Structure 1
Amino acid sequence: MHQPPTWAELIFAVAAVVVGVTAAVLIRVLVKRLNGRLPRSAWTRDDVFVNALRDLASSALVIGGAWFAATLLPLTGTVSKWTYRLLLSLLILLVALAVSRLVGSLVRTVLTKTGVASSASIFVNIARIAVLAVGMLILLQTMGVSITPLLTAMGVGGIAIALALQDTLANLFAGVHLLASRKLQPGNYIKLPDGHEGYVVDINWRNTTMRDLLDNMVIVPNAMISNSAVVNYDQPAKDLYMVVQARVTYDCDLATVERIIVAVGRDVLSSIDGGVADAEPVVRFHTFGDLGIEFSVIMQIEEYGDQFLIKHEFVKRLHERFRAEGIDIPHPMRGMDFLEREPLGTAAS
């Protein structure tokens, strides 16, 4: 007959749990203080290792205290068996979570060193899911569940799942391809064939998130980007050229016009953020238009988003300089002639 625990056994069991919890709290406080006082190393991911070891140590102490408390109590064979399995499963789950965070951080570090986008979450999520999947298999094996039939069923069911999730898998592999090819990374400014454009924020397992210049989020499936002609304004280099179209009248001296435009362009590029200060503006006259001689002004900027402010300042300063120099900018004019008509009664008489 099963004997109930005595007061002494209960006291020792509770003390074991309290000691485990206290030791876990002390470990966390000690590691936090040491981490704040010790000098930083050159490797930026050492905090991840420290935090992972801290979490594992504190979790092991709490579960160890509960384990020792279970050994002190007069549990029946079945209760003791499932208690130990439950504590071991909890320990495996906590270890899997800590390792998944650690692996995700290491993958992000490797991506940063190899030049692949470190802020793209798709590779990090795949690594974490793989570690958690292995942890779940170990957990099931610990609980007494045979994983061999499960793996067989997953292999057979994987075919049906793949057929049902064709679009999802297409987006997944398209996202992996986009990042692995390094043709598209978070931070790049891109333009899609349908007119959407903006900065790439993230590439996950299903879609690519973009932020346009009005600070709106645009979400596009990865497969659509992979199968489209995408303009990447940050590849192969981040700096690019912007073009401003204008015209002057036929009676203007083109040499003087070119000299003024170059001077204004230099001033704008050197004084406005986003302009390449040492770049020389280029003027190209190209068309005898109906209203005047048309030309293009080409200026180099640091990135795509800088063109709007630079174009704004350039047009404003060039217009002011043209007015000061007496250079006319032709614009279309429409004349209207009003014909006087005789009253109907006068014409009849």
Structure 2
Amino acid sequence: MLISLSAEEAIKALGIILLSVVASRIFIYFITNHASRLAQRTNTDFDDALIDASKTPLYYLIILIGTDYALHQITTLPSLTTGLESAIFVFEILLLAIFINRILGVTVEWYSKNIAVKTETKFDDEFLPLFKRTSAIFIYGAATVIVLDYFSYDITAIVAGLGIAGIAVALAAQDTLSNMISGFVIMADRPFRVKDIIELPSGEYGEVSEIGLRSTKILTLDALMIVIPNAKIGDSQIVNYSYPDRRMRLKIPVGVAYDSDIDFVTEILISIAKRQPHVLESPVPRVTLESFGDSSINLLLYVWIDSHKDKVQVINKINRDIDKMFKKEGVEIPFPIRTIYSRNGKSKDGGE
């Protein structure tokens, strides 16, 4: 009676296993002939890649689940079924880890090829491979812990050891982690973008060339590349000349003699500004009387330009034109004069 019962259970278990194999083949047929066709109609290849990555792990996972259920139907051979169930559980966890890792890998690869290449920064290009490797370690590590816990191994010591190792790595790589976290903050907050013109607290001025995982690169007007750790630039006060408007207002100081006609000088300065090709028509150039100096009336000429790269060129051209026009119109640019009084009561004027 025991033998016939064992045979009956074995036949039943074998039937369940065969049904699971058939179910897995039906699943693959459906995925290949229906889901793949639907995916081909979409504008993206992301769904095609997901289907290709998930077919094999899910095929074997269905068979293993069916086999595991079949073994539970056999009650007369507990030593054999227990060992097989344990082995199947290990393979199920392994296949599940492979499946999750493949899905994550396909997602990262698709993002790298379709989204990351279109962004202005290389931050995601550097971060995604690191994220992919780190995620794989975490997924397979979690699978290992689950398997060890299933076999009643004490994982407390392992988890504690991993925690201590993590703290040691974090302390050793404190600067690197700080730069990476600051890089995330820069990407999220976006105080500046690639091609923005920024000024650092130290006075360096240039165009943001690249925002990386650990550092930001700035190309100065002298064609020098400045590499700054993200942690340092994240804690600094940055002046962004390109955000929210790429236009820039220039203030050009001009000093004229006290006997000059200010209205006439203003007309000259406005006409010079309007002739410059890089000066915008709106907002219009304007002149203000800034202060009364020791030997001159100090004016400020305000002009707007459309690019920070033209700053030096515009200032140089305007100053040269001012010098020519003032000489032509007889407008005096004074130099400092100091009156010296001597002990005998006479005075003598002279330039510094």
TM-score range relative to shorter protein: 0.5 to 0.7
- Alignment pair present for 1:255 and 2:279: no
* Counterpart selection for 1:325 from 311, 314, 329: 329
The CA deviation at 1:154 is 4.8
* Counterpart selection for 1:101 from 92, 102, 109: 109
* Counterpart selection for 1:177 from 185, 190, 200: 185
One-letter amino acid of the counterpart of residue 315, structure 1: N
Alignment-derived partner of residue 234 in structure 2: 226
- Distance in 2 between the 1:243 and 1:195 partners? 18
Q: Deviations over 1:276-302 (max 9, x none)?
A: 233311111122222211111111111
Alignment-derived partner of residue 344 in structure 1: none
One-letter amino acid of the counterpart of residue 180, structure 2: L
Q: 1:291 to 1:94 in 2, by over 3 A?
A: same
Alignment-derived partner of residue 89 in structure 1: none
One-letter amino acid of the counterpart of residue 128, structure 1: P
- Equivalent pair of 2:295/2:337 in contact (CA under 8 Å): no
Alignment-derived partner of residue 306 in structure 1: 310
Alignment-derived partner of residue 296 in structure 2: 292
Greater shift in the superposed pair: 254-263 or 100-109: 100-109
- Alignment pair present for 1:315 and 2:319: yes
Q: Unaligned regions of 5+ residues in structure 1, if any?
A: 1-40, 58-91, 113-117, 337-349
- Distance in 2 between the 1:232 and 1:226 partners? 13
Secondary structure at 1:323 match in 2: helix
Alignment-derived partner of residue 279 in structure 1: 283
Alignment-derived partner of residue 130 in structure 1: 131
- Alignment pair present for 1:206 and 2:206: no
The CA deviation at 1:125 is 2.8
Q: 1:325 to 1:167 in 2, by over 3 A?
A: same
- Distance in 1 between the 2:124 and 2:186 partners? 12
The CA deviation at 1:204 is 1.4
Alignment-derived partner of residue 167 in structure 2: 159
The CA deviation at 1:122 is 2.2
The CA deviation at 1:230 is 1.2
With normalisation by structure 2, the TM-score equals 0.59
Q: Unaligned regions of 5+ residues in structure 2, if any?
A: 1-41, 54-99, 150-154, 341-352
The CA deviation at 1:215 is 0.9
The CA deviation at 1:320 is 1.3
The CA deviation at 1:167 is 1.2
Equivalent pairs, count: 246
- Distance in 2 between the 1:138 and 1:158 partners? 16
One-letter amino acid of the counterpart of residue 247, structure 1: G
Larger radius of gyration: 2
Alignment-derived partner of residue 120 in structure 2: 119
- Distance in 2 between the 1:244 and 1:96 partners? 56
- Equivalent pair of 2:196/2:208 in contact (CA under 8 Å): yes
Greater shift in the superposed pair: 325-334 or 278-287: 325-334
Secondary structure at 1:198 match in 2: strand
Q: Deviations over 1:228-282 (max 9, x none)?
A: 11111112211121110111111111110111111111111xx23xx32333111
Q: 1:95 to 1:227 in 2, by over 3 A?
A: closer
- Distance in 1 between the 2:115 and 2:246 partners? 26
